Amino acid sequence: MQFFWAFVVGGALCVIGQLLMDLTSYKFTPAHVLVTFVSAGAIISAVGLYQPLVNLAGAGATVPLTGFGHLLAQGAINGVKQHGLLGAFSGGITAAAAGITAAVVFGYLAALAFRPRS
């Protein structure tokens, strides 16, 4: 059942992104969509509404960039729980470290290995 919800929730989040691009001004670029999704994910997560979505849809909620924001926000909040104020500084990136490091390393390697086409 989680496979079904992964498809539907993941697809629905992308639909929101598509509508943001198509129905707003040309000034709202794909980069703006990514930034909006990360921040929105962090905010929704902080008020406690994102975790239920993850429980329902699994990758459908964690793979879209809102899930990245959720990871960062939960990391910061858990950091505060464990280490106090300092945790707000260290928790977010700690939680998201795998994704960030993977993106940097694989990005770097891909840039070395490939030549851009048109």
Partner 1 sequence: MAARQKNGKQTVWFQNPPVIISAASVVGSREGEGPLGKTFDRVVYDTYYGEKTWEKAEQRMMLEAMQKALEKANIQDSDIDFMLAGDLLNQIITANFTARALAIPFLGLYGACSTMYESLALGAMLIDGGFAERVLVGASSHYCTAERQYRFPTEMGNQRPMTAQWTVTGAGAAILSREGSGPVITHATIGKVVDLGQGDPQNMGAAMAPAAADTIISHLQDTSRNPDYYDLIITGDLGAYGKKLAVQLISQNGYDISERCSDCGILIYSPSQDVHAGGSGCGCSAVVTCGYLIENLISGKYKRLLGIGTGALLSPCSSQQGETVPGIGHAVAIEMR
Partner 2 sequence: MPAIKQKQLYYDMVKQSAPKPRVWRNTFWAFVVGGLICLVGQFIIVFFRTRGLDVNEAGAATSATLVFLAAFLTGLGVYDEVSRFGGAGGIVPITGFANSMVAPALEYRAEGMVFGVGARLFNIAGPVLVWGIVTAWVAGILYYFFR
Find the binding residues for partner 2 in span 53-72 (CB under 8 A).
Answer: 57-60, 62-65, 67-69, 71-72
- To partner 1, the closest distance from the beta carbon of 109 in angstroms equals 15
Select 11 or 30, whichever has its Cβ closest to partner 1: 30
Is there binding between residue 43 and partner 1 (CB under 8 A)?
no
d(CA 75, CA 91): 4
Select 52 or 89, whichever has its Cβ closest to partner 2: 89
What part of residues 19-38 is at the interface with partner 1 (CB under 8 A)? 21, 26-27, 29-30
Q: Residue 49: which of 37, 32, 61 has the closest Cα?
A: 61
Q: Is the dihedral of CA 76, 81, 83, 86 positive or negative?
A: positive
- The owner of tokens 């290995």 is 113
Angle at 110 between CA 38 and CA 105, to 5 degrees: 55
d(CA 4, CA 118): 36
Partner touching 109 among partner 1, partner 2, none, CB below 5 to 8 Å by kind: partner 2
- To partner 1, the closest distance from the beta carbon of 19 in angstroms equals 13
